[in-house]
Chains A and B, each alone.
Chain A
Amino acid sequence: MIDFNSVSKIYKNEFTAVKNINLKIDDGEFVFIVGKSGAGKSTLIKLLLREIIPSEGIITYNEQDITKIRKRNVAQYRRKIGFVFQDYRLLPKMTVYENVAFAMEMICSNSKTVRREVPLVLSMVGLSDKAKYYPDELSGGEQQRVAIARAVINKPETIIADEPTGNLDPDTSKEIMKILTEINKRGTTVIMATHDMNIVQAYQKRIVELKRGVIIRDIKTGGCIDEPKEI
């Protein structure tokens, strides 16, 4: 479980990015973090990734106070979280297979495990036939699927996706959402930051809305609609 307890972040120039955030996310939840640019979504994510520490309050991850994690142990903590970037961040000189395998090599997995797991994950995201392709040979949607594959390959407890559909058209965005929903169904917590309200309304998941660094809305929708509602 993730717990933000009265968390605020004030930067050196006295800008308050988030203020008095109280937010609990249970294991296995799918949460949309919504808000306009500058609302504090990125700050919330950086706090959760332990990229920055809060000026006030405590953040716990499975009851561990992450603000107290030593710098040298941050890497270990981050292995519990898979991260999906808006701009995919694929390594251009590596193939699809190598990009996904890269994530396993970072945590020193042995080559046998890599050879077993990577094809499985590529199959999950529907890219088995593109394993030898390079990123510039793929569409935006395919690149994002590779990024998701990389994020899940180490079986993290939580996936954080920062505007994963930001650069994609509606149809491709649906494909990505389908994959993320499937991952969530298997028990992984998914936290998705987005300002695309069409996606949010189509997939009726929990919505946490930020405005000027404050939570103004936290709605847990009833039911589990995994297929998008046509808008």
Chain B
Amino acid sequence: MMGLASIGSVTAVLIILGFVLIIVLNVNNVALIAKETFDEIAVYLYDDVDEKQIEELGKSFKDIDGVMGVAFQTKEYALEKLKEDWGENAYLLEGIRDNSLPNTYIVQLKDVENSEHVENQLRTFEGVEKVQYHKDAVNSLIRIADFVKKIGTGVILLLLLISIFIISNTIKITVLNRQKEIELMQYIGATNGYVRGPFMVEGIMLGFFGSVIAILLITLGYRYITNYLAIRFVAVLSGMSGYIVGVEMILNDLIIIFLTIGIGIGILGSLISLKKFLSV
């Protein structure tokens, strides 16, 4: 009975741990993708900038420290791209006579950390109407990701300590129930290793079964949640599918982590109990 309660407790702790891990992974993933996606600055040019100036501006932008490359988009290309994005509503753009979209340079950064320096440099050029970069959004995402990682690590450590405590207590009860037998074994001349063996195995089994159940429940639960959200919010999620970490991507790692943690806390819990009670 105690064993079942212990497995249940370990499973519950590992499930929470698993979801915290998944949240941390997903937030981290979003931050990474944001960093990679938003590593471009859009530079809108005035309409009266001629071709020669446009070419010179391109060369100057390339020479800025921190710039990986530049790409030019004509206002016509911009309009075509907008029609593509609007999909079936693109007919609304057919009647436009004056294309008010600007000629744009897309400046790619070597590192988003240098974005401010590059942005400031770009603003100084004549012919540049506007410089646009989602710096604040990216920085917020990175800060949120760091915060979630720190909290997540703290929660995971706390949960691990709780698991070790639970298993230690279960083993303690077993040891107390068998204390006379243990004393007898030690008087007869059984080595500590021989005495510890069955309790270590018990601890390992508790941790093992707890983690197997937790892996199954998390895998099924996470898959269900992502499928449900995908069906319910298909329009939103279709564009975000790259941001969500799929179960298949993390399953192998999850199994290794959980089994290691489960067996590890089983061993630690047993050792803590036995150290206290193996005194003869």
Residues of A participating in the B interface, judged by any CB pair closer than 8 Å: 49, 51, 71-72, 75-79, 83, 89, 91, 102-103, 106-108, 150, 154
Question: B residues within 8 A CB of A150?
Answer: 188
**Chain B residue, CB-CB nearest to A77:** B189
Q: Does B185 touch A at the CB level, under 8 Å?
A: yes
Question: A residues within 8 A CB of B189?
Answer: 75-79, 106-107, 154
A-B contact pairs, 11 of them (CB 8 A): A75-B186, A75-B189, A76-B189, A77-B189, A78-B186, A78-B187, A79-B189, A89-B180, A102-B188, A103-B188, A108-B194
Q: How far is the CA of A102 from the CA of B280 in the complex (A)?
A: 19
Q: Does B192 touch A at the CB level, under 8 Å?
A: yes
Since A51-B280, A79-B188 are in contact, a sample of 6 more A-B pairs with Cβ atoms closer than 8 Å, ordered by chain A residue number, is A49-B187, A75-B186, A83-B188, A106-B188, A108-B194, A154-B188
Across the A-B interface, how many residue pairs have beta carbons closer than 8 Å? 40
Q: Does B252 touch A at the CB level, under 8 Å?
A: no
* Chain B contacts with A in 82-99, Cβ cutoff 8 A: none
Residues of B participating in the A interface, judged by any CB pair closer than 8 Å: 180-181, 183-192, 194, 280
Question: B residues within 8 A CB of A91?
Answer: 181, 184
**Chain B residue, CB-CB nearest to A83:** B187
A75 touching B180, Cβ below 8 Å: no
A207 to chain B minimum Cβ distance, whole angstroms, is 25
B154 to chain A minimum Cβ distance, whole angstroms, is 38
A106 touching B180, Cβ below 8 Å: no
Question: B residues within 8 A CB of A103?
Answer: 188
B189 to chain A minimum Cβ distance, whole angstroms, is 4
Question: B residues within 8 A CB of A72?
Answer: 191-192
Q: How far is the CA of A49 from the CA of B191 in the complex (A)?
A: 14
A75 touching B190, Cβ below 8 Å: yes
B185 touching A106, Cβ below 8 Å: yes
**Chain B residue, CB-CB nearest to A79:** B189
Question: A residues within 8 A CB of B191?
Answer: 72, 75-76
A143 to chain B minimum Cβ distance, whole angstroms, is 14
Question: B residues within 8 A CB of A89?
Answer: 180, 183-184
The listed residue (A49, A71, A83, A106) touching B190 by CB distance below 8 A is A106
Question: B residues within 8 A CB of A78?
Answer: 186-189
B28 to chain A minimum Cβ distance, whole angstroms, is 46
A107 touching B188, Cβ below 8 Å: yes
Q: How far is the CA of A78 from the CA of B187 in the complex (A)?
A: 7
**Chain B residue, CB-CB nearest to A84:** B187
A106 touching B280, Cβ below 8 Å: no
A146 to chain B minimum Cβ distance, whole angstroms, is 13
Q: How far is the CA of A51 from the CA of B187 in the complex (A)?
A: 9
B184 touching A107, Cβ below 8 Å: no
**Chain B residue, CB-CB nearest to A103:** B188
B138 to chain A minimum Cβ distance, whole angstroms, is 59
Question: B residues within 8 A CB of A76?
Answer: 189, 191
Question: A residues within 8 A CB of B188?
Answer: 78-79, 83, 102-103, 106-107, 150, 154
Question: A residues within 8 A CB of B186?
Answer: 75, 78
Q: How far is the CA of A78 from the CA of B184 in the complex (A)?
A: 12
**Chain A residue, CB-CB nearest to B181:** A91
